[in-house]
Each structure stands twice: as C-alpha cells, then as structure tokens.
Chain A
Amino acid sequence: MLLALALASIPLWAPRFWIYIATQALIFAIFAMSLDLLVGYAGLPSFGHAAFYGVGAYACALLALGHVDGLVPLLLAGMLGAGAAALPIGALSLRTSGIYFLMLTLAFAQMLWGLAVNWTSLTRGTDGLIGIPRPALPGLDTLNVSLYDRGPFFFLCLLVAIAVFVVLESLVRSPFGKTLEGIRENDRRMRALGFPTFRYRLAAFVLAGMVAGIAGSLAAMSNGFATPDLLYWTVSGLALIAVVVGGTRSFIGPALGAFLVLFAQLGLSTYIDRWELALGALFIAFVLFLPRGLVGLVRRA
C-alpha cells in the first residue's frame, strides 16, 4: 500500500526523465511478476519468457497501426496474442522438465526472435514497427488528460501493475494456485491423487504468457515501437534476474527486483562499460548470500 502511494506520487515531484524510467520499471515489474508465477509457484524455470512479452508488444503494435484505438482492445490484443503463442510452446516444452524445459523455452523464444527479424512483411525486420500511437481516453481527453503525457501514462502502468499484482496474489491463494504448488513439490504424488498435472502446468504457462503479453502491450505503447530486441534472450535473462534478486514465491519481490535491476542497469551502464558483468556479479551475490532475495531480507528484518 505504502509502496503504491509512494510510487503514485512520483509524477508530482520527479523530473521527466525519472518518470519515464519509473514507467519502464513498472512495465518490467509486471513482466517479472508473470515470470514468478512459473518460476516460483509452478516450479517451471522458463528462460524464454520474453517470447510472450515480445508477441504481446507486436500484437498491440499491429492492432494500433491498423487504426484500432482503445486502451482495452490494445491490452487485450497483447494478452490474447501472447496467450495464443504460449499454448503451443507450453504444450511442447512442458513435455520436459528442469534444465531441458529451460533450454526448450529458450529455443522457442529465439525462434520467435528469428521470426520477428525475418518476417519483414509483417514485422519490418530489425527496423521494427515504429510510430505506434497511444490510445485515446474517451471522456478524459476533454479534461486534457492524454496518454501521450508522461504522468497519465505512468498512472496507467501503475494501475495495471496493481491490478496484475492483486490478480496474481489471489490466484496463488486459490485452489488452482495451491495445485500448482503441489505439482512443483511433487508431481508424482499429484498424479497419484488424480490430478492431470500436465493440464495445470499448461494453464499456468498460458496465464503467465498472457500477463507477460499485457506488459508487452504497455511496452509497445510506452516506446512507440516494437523491435525484435523485445524477444531477445537477454530480456528473459533480465527478468529471471529480477525474480531471483527480488525473491521467488511472492509477487512484491520480483516487482522490487525489476526496479532494482532496471536502476542497476541504468546506473551501471553510465559508469561501467561492461555493465552486464557487474549485473551478473550482483546476481551471483544474491544467489549466494540472499537466496530468498530482497523479500527475504525484509522478512528477516
């Protein structure tokens, strides 16, 4: 709550640049939270989650460039587009587990990245889709509120992030969420109890993909473009780092982790050439000394 209020006040005092950074961090936080549904709760270490972030961004971009105006249709496009991609990818990847699952999800994501680069008639290749308009807000524009302004767009991202947080928190407390945890802890026993565990894992994979797609939609609107970079494996890697650094099996953790990773990236890249190296070191330090992440640190204090 306090955190949300503190965040909500950002547009009131922060310089424009920082509003932009905080917006990016919120979008990244949504993405990281969706990944933790898989990594933390379902025990599925996906290394290809950027695929759904990217597909969501492209779906939103294509629709917006096709003159669809409207916040809800554009967010839905990202969500459903990413879900549609997650269904077959999940159905194939989930036949394996552990390190093989990790490699397969990575391979599928890289395939989609290749598709985004090469299917130039649809995606315009490495140039990407540019000039994506932000949706109008019917009713609010008379009040001079436009998503082209940083403040309102930041609030939109904050609202979506809070909604995603609330939905995911109640999802993991629901019977479905507990079933996922049971499958993570002991798939064999769950099957012996009568659970078709594959279907639950697939449902979790698609749901996480859909939430990542929402983040992708917001990213497309925020940047005004969608490029293959969004699907690149480093994006999946950054999200995994955010989840681990923030602490798995909570959603506040990965959200904080996303902020930390984004600020670290920003700070380090200004002062150090090889900032990836420094970020990697930070990651290793967390895994070794704070295995429960930032959230674990707060809980201990």
Chain B
Amino acid sequence: MEVTVTDLTVRFGAVAVLDDVDLEIASGERRALIGPNGAGKTTLLNVIAGELRPAQGSVRLGTRDATTLPPWKRARLGLGRTFQRSTLFGQLTVAENVALAVRARIRGSWRFWPGGQHPVREEVGKRLEAAALAHLANRRAANIGHGEQRMLELELALAASPSVLLLDEPMAGLSGAERQSVLNRLLTLPRQVTIVIVEHDLDAVFAIAERVSVLDHGVKIADGGPAAVRADPRVQEAYIGAF
C-alpha cells in the first residue's frame, strides 16, 4: 500500500515540529526516515498512524484519504507500527501479547466464550518460533529482557500482517547480535510490505532502505537514493561527521 503525505504541518504551541513535509512512498518500498534528535521523525510517524492531527496537510493510505481516521481504523486499512519505547502488554504473557495482535487481524475478539482458539494458538506458536521468543511464551512481557521486548514489540506489529509497517528505532539499545536478528526478520518480510523505518543506526538503514528521507528541525532537507543522500552537503551539515 502507498503512503502519501502532503503539505504536512504539525505545531506544538507556536513551534512547528513538522513544517510543510511531503512524502511519497510507493507500495512495497523500503523507506528510511533519518535526522538528528528532535527532528520530528516520531511526530511524522504519529501523524501517519493517526495519533496526532496535523495543523495542515493530508495523509493518504493507498487510495484512501486517512487524514481524519482514528488510529484503529488506519490499522484496519493495513497499517502497523512499532513504538520508540516498547509499548507492550506488561502483565500479560508473551504468547498472550501476540495472540491479541493475531485476533486484531482476524477480528476474532467479539467472542464471549473460551474455546475455538486452537488456530490462534497455533499461529502464535509459529510466530514466537520465528521471532526466537518461543522459550519465553509464558513469561510476562514486563519481565523479559530489553532485547527480547524489542523483538516482541516488532512481532506485535508483524502478527497483524500489515501492508504498511512503520518502525520507530527498532534497533535502539540492542546488541550487535540482536540488531542482526531484527534486521534478518525485516529482510524476510514479503516484498509487497511497505516499510518506513526511523533509525539512527545508519548501517542498518542502508542495509534495508531503497530510498532515504532526511528531516531536520521539522523540514525535509533531502530525499533520494542512499548514495545521493549520503553525498548531499545539507545532510552532511545536519549530521556533522555522522557518516
């Protein structure tokens, strides 16, 4: 599914955190969104996901104008996301966490009796296997390690089988090996899934992304292929010495 953001402006008080931003992301594209701290990357994801209303501008998902849709309706259009800070169901088990995401997709939650959950349990088992979390299935999400929580954070979004996936710093705070497994998990996603990834780990960014957009102080300062963006003097200035 395509994501199209037009003339987007978001203000917190008098400050424009996003200033007239345009993005055109093709279906199945892997797009990275980078920029220094406070550039407005998370804010942009929040607007696309529907948690923030822009002061101006529009968001389209596929052919649909989603600007005024609440987050849950956008999710039902096929939008999935992860959060910069893990946003899990802390007191529920790892398996129950994933089961909620699976039932969100199959719309199986208006059932008032237990039972008939075998297909859900089976799918949860497979997904935990794929995420290397199977051994933690019955632990509470609040009690597993940080890296495992980040993996679960990603798995919750994937279990809903999104056609657009917004990822907010999925590698933050992870060890080298953990980064690699997140990367591998992302690289195995079906080709038609559109991915928008915000990430400070530029090696990861360039391993995944086909196009890169750069935000600085709420303004999009560059947009293009990885090599072109790397060479752009404005990007180098915003990121002094990061490349």
Contact = CB atoms under 8 A, between A and B. Distances in A.
Given A193-B100, A193-B104, A185 B90 contact: yes
27 contacts: A170-B112, A170-B113, A174-B113, A175-B117, A175-B120, A176-B110, A178-B92, A179-B109, A181-B89, A181-B96, A185-B91, A188-B87, A191-B72, A191-B75, A192-B49, A192-B71, A192-B75, A192-B80, A192-B83, A192-B87, A193-B100, A193-B101, A194-B76, A194-B104, A195-B72, A195-B104, A200-B109
Nearest to A199: B110
A176 B114 CA distance: 9
What secondary structure prevails in chain A residues at the interface with B? helix
Interface of B: 49, 51, 70-73, 75-76, 80-81, 83, 87-92, 96, 99-101, 103-105, 108-114, 117, 120, 156, 160
Contacts of A185: 88-92
Given A175-B108, A200-B109, A190 B49 contact: no
B114 A174 contact: yes
A185 B96 CA distance: 12
A186 interface: yes
A285 interface: no
A115 interface: no
Interface residues of A, number: 23
Contacts of B72: 190-197
B76 A189 contact: no
Contacts of B160: 193-194
Interface of A: 170-171, 173-176, 178-179, 181-182, 185-186, 188-197, 200
A168 to B, nearest CB: 11
B89 A189 contact: yes
Given A175-B108, A192-B72, A192-B83, 19 more contacts: A174-B112, A175-B109, A175-B111, A175-B120, A178-B103, A178-B109, A179-B109, A182-B92, A185-B91, A185-B92, A186-B87, A186-B90, A188-B87, A189-B87, A190-B104, A191-B75, A192-B51, A192-B81, A193-B104
Contact of A193 (B90, B96, B111, B156): B156
A200 B73 CA distance: 15
